[in-house]
Amino acid sequence: MELKVVKFGGSSLADATQFKKVKEIITADESRRYVVPSAPGKRFSADTKVTDMLYECYEHASKGENIDVLFDNIRERYNSIIKDLGIDLSLEDDFCAIKYAFRHKSGRDYAASRGEYLNGKILAKYLEYDFIDAANVIFFKIDGTFDSERTNEVLSETLKNHTHAVIPGFYGSMPNDTIKTFSRGGSDITGSIVARAANVTLYENWTDVSGFMMADPRIIKNPKTIEYITYRELRELSYMGATVLHEDAVFPVRMMGIPINIKNTNAPDDKGTMIVSEAPEEATGSVITGIAGKKNFSVIRIEKDMMNQELGFGRRVLEVFEKCGVSFEHLPSGIDTMSVVVSENALEEKRDHIMTEICKAVNPDHVTIEDGYALVAVVGRGMVSTKGTASKVFSSLSDGGVNIKMIDQGSSELNIIIGVRNEDFEKAMNCIYSAFDN
């Protein structure tokens, strides 16, 4: 039997008009039985998300300042939704308890979590679904990491007693019963956790775009929407800066092989993007699934004659980075050279120290740091079976006059990473996109 978890992002629940669309979507398909809402998001571009209002309000409360006005603004956001939906619900007792808790320094995570909690209560009432407080079913361990096994046990048992339920996103509880949130955008993770616990056939993630685009629309004009993307491709693209879904939302469903469908609340008939373990045969239209990238990387280049014969050279270099708490992104190497690519941010004040330690550790002939690199990842499961992909990427760049500073292709042939100067980044993305846009 079909069973779906549906998660709605903040813009899908920003006001009563959006709530009405959400109800229409849910009631149009009776398998949409578990609903995970975010807090109300922006109604227009200059608006403030309720989560941000809560963080701000709590900051003032924790300094002992008066929060009456800020709190009333939050109350007003919810009350206007309730009024415009015409439902018989009062959240006054909750508002009182929350304001009291703010004044008694209940914690920043507790404060932020109330955005989803209150929105969940309204949505449950509006849909006539049960309300399950995430604090009772989503758990973190004492060290603050997510307790997936305990959560899965309790949540799957709990869901058996509710055929239709709303479970607010973004938060859960610590072993001492305090509230903890996931990182920003974490309702996506809650949706995935609920999908696993209920063992659903599909996790629908409703947002305000019709799926993943092949490239960032701020850089490429009208990029195509990706119809199918595998979990692994998605990881690569999200890591390189493509946003739509929280990076960690993939794990709970991936282990169960549950697909995620990214859908648009404002255009519900659009197919959106299907995130799957394996794409169907007919979906291998383009060799490239997507292109993403980020600016501001540094390359530490180490040269030493006969490096290739020096056992443990690489380990000693990487140990320096590990001890300095800097994780590396890529490691392109030649016979007598080794380059370590790290983000400029991570390097910050540690650069001198790292240089000294590398000299001590491996006594190189030369070591330099060059900043201002951008990385572009060309990702596609189709690369394995298609000859000439790399050549197409590189000729498109050379035709466009972009100087390639670094190339790294994983042995899985899922991606090619190209390093260019920051100032060539947008051009590089456009050249590559055009080469595969057929």
**Contacting positions for ligand ASP (CB under 6 A):** 10, 38-39, 49, 51, 115, 169-170, 184-188
Comparison of 49 and 301: residue with beta carbon closer to ligand ASP: 49
Q: Give the containing element (helix H, strand E) for 157.
A: helix 148-160
Do the beta carbons of residue 140 and residue 105 sit within 8 Å? no
Contacts of 95 (CB under 8 A, 6+ apart): 71, 75
Task: Please state, in angstroms and rounded to a whole number, the distance separating the CA atoms of residues 315 and 225.
Answer: 42
Tell me how far, at minimum, the Cβ of 274 lies from ligand ASP, in Å.
21
**Minimum CB distance to ligand ASP smaller for 49 or for 254:** 49
Residue 253 or 354 having the CB closest to ligand ASP: 253
- Asked if 120 contacts 37 with a C-beta cutoff of 8 angstroms, the reply is yes
Nearer to ligand ASP, 248 or 303 (CB): 248
> SS3 string of 219-273?
CCCCCCECCEEEHHHHHHHHHCCCCCCCHHHHHHHHCCCCCEEEEECCCCCCCCE
Kindly state the smallest distance separating residue 155's Cβ from ligand ASP, in Å.
18
Q: CA torsion angle for 124, 245, 77, 99 (degrees, to 10)?
A: 80
Residue 329 C-beta: closest distance to ligand ASP, Å? 25
Beta bridge partners of 225: 213
DSSP string of 42-106, one letter each residue: -SSTT---HHHHHHHHHHHHHTT---HHHHHHHHHHHHHHHHHHT-----HHHHHHHHHHHHTT-
- Residue closer to ligand ASP, measured from CB, 253 or 320: 253
Minimum gap (Å) between residue 23 Cβ and ligand ASP: 19
Nearest distance in Å: CB 169, ligand ASP: 5
Q: Cβ 190 to ligand ASP, closest distance in Å?
A: 8
CB of 173 to ligand ASP, least distance (A): 16
119 touches 13 (CB < 8 A): yes
Q: Of 37, 23, 322, 341, which is closest to residue 167 (Cα–Cα)?
A: 37
**What is the bridge-based pairing of β-strands 202-207 and 260-264?**
parallel
Four-residue CA torsion sign, 254, 279, 34, 235: positive
Amino acid identity at 135: A
The span from the CA of 80 to the CA of 67, in Å, is 20
Minimum CB separation from ligand ASP for residue 263, in Å?
16
Q: Is the dihedral of CA 121, 123, 126, 132 positive or negative?
A: negative
- We find the least distance from the C-beta atom of residue 160 to ligand ASP, in angstroms, to be 26
What are all long-range contacts of 151-156, with beta carbons under 8 Å and residues at least 24 apart? 151/193, 151/197, 152/193, 152/196, 152/197, 155/193, 155/194, 155/197, 156/197, 156/198, 156/199
- Could you tell me the smallest distance in angstroms from the CB atom of residue 110 to ligand ASP? 14
Residue 10 or residue 290: which is nearer to ligand ASP going by CB? 10
Tell me whether residue 53 or residue 347 sits nearer to ligand ASP (CB atom).
53
Q: How far is the CB of 57 from ligand ASP (least distance, A)?
A: 14
C-beta closer to ligand ASP: residue 183 or 277: 183
Q: Which is nearer to ligand ASP, 106 or 207 (CB)?
A: 207
> Encoding tokens for residue 13?
């629940």
Instruction: Kindly tell me which of 80 and 183 has the beta carbon lying closer to ligand ASP.
Output: 183
Cα Rg for the chain, rounded, in angstroms?
Answer: 25
How far is residue 426's CA from residue 355's CA, in Å, rounded to a whole number? 31
Q: Which is nearer to ligand ASP, 195 or 340 (CB)?
A: 195
> Which residue has its beta carbon closest to ligand ASP?
187
Least distance from ligand ASP to the Cβ atom of residue 150, Å:
22
- Residues 67, 41: contact at Cβ < 8 Å? no
Residue 246 vs 295, nearer CB to ligand ASP:
246
